[in-house]
Amino acid sequence: MSNNQTMNRRGGFLARLSMLETLVLAGISLIAIAGLMLVGKGFYMKAKAEISQVLLKRSFEAQLHGETNVKPWPWADFATEAEITAPRIGKTAVVLSGASGEALAFGPARLANTPPPGELGTSVIAAHRDTHFRWLKDVKPGDLLMVTRKDGANLTFRVRSSRIARWDESGINADAPGRNLALATCWPFDATEQGPLRYIVNAELVPDTAQATLSALDSASQLSVKSF
Tell me: the pLDDT tens digits for 136-188?
999 999 999 999 999 999 999 999 999 999 989 999 999 999 999 999 999 99
Query: Where does the pLDDT of residue 39 fall: very low under 50, low under 70, confident under 90, or very high at 90 and above?
Result: very low
> 213-219 long-range CB contacts below 8 Å, 24 or more apart?
214/118, 214/119, 214/120, 214/179, 215/119, 215/120, 216/115, 216/119, 216/120, 216/121, 217/114, 217/115, 217/116, 217/119, 217/120, 217/121, 219/113, 219/114, 219/115, 219/121, 219/174, 219/175
Is the pLDDT at 189 greater than 50? The verdict is yes
**21 falls in which pLDDT band (50, 70, 90)?**
low
What is the assigned CATH class of domain 46-209?
mainly beta
Half-sphere CA count of 52, side-chain side, radius 13 A:
24
14, exposed or middle or buried, with CB in 10 Å at 0-12, 13-18, 19+? exposed
For residue 85, pLDDT beyond 90: yes
Rounded to whole angstroms, the Cα distance separating 14 from 22 reads 8
Q: Which residues contact 215 (CB under 8 A, 6 or more apart)?
A: 119, 120
The confidence score (pLDDT) of residue 91 equals: 95
pLDDT attached to residue 42 = 47
Most confident segment among 21-30, 55-64, 153-162: 153-162
Return the beta strands (E) in the chain as ranges. 80-86, 91-97, 109-110, 121-126, 144-149, 154-166, 179-186, 197-205
Position 86 scores a pLDDT of 97
- What does the pLDDT read at residue 188? 92
Distance CA 222, CA 111 (A): 13
Per mean pLDDT, which of 37-51, 65-79, 99-113, 157-171 is the most reliable?
Answer: 157-171
Residue 192 confidence (pLDDT): 73
Would you say residue 40 has pLDDT above 80?
no
Interval 76-83 mean pLDDT: 87
Q: Across the chain, what does the average pLDDT equal?
A: 78
Hey, which residues does 187 pair with through a beta bridge?
A: none
Mean pLDDT of 219-223: 48
CA distance 84 to 33: 38
Cα–Cα distance for residue pair 226/228, rounded to 1 Å: 7
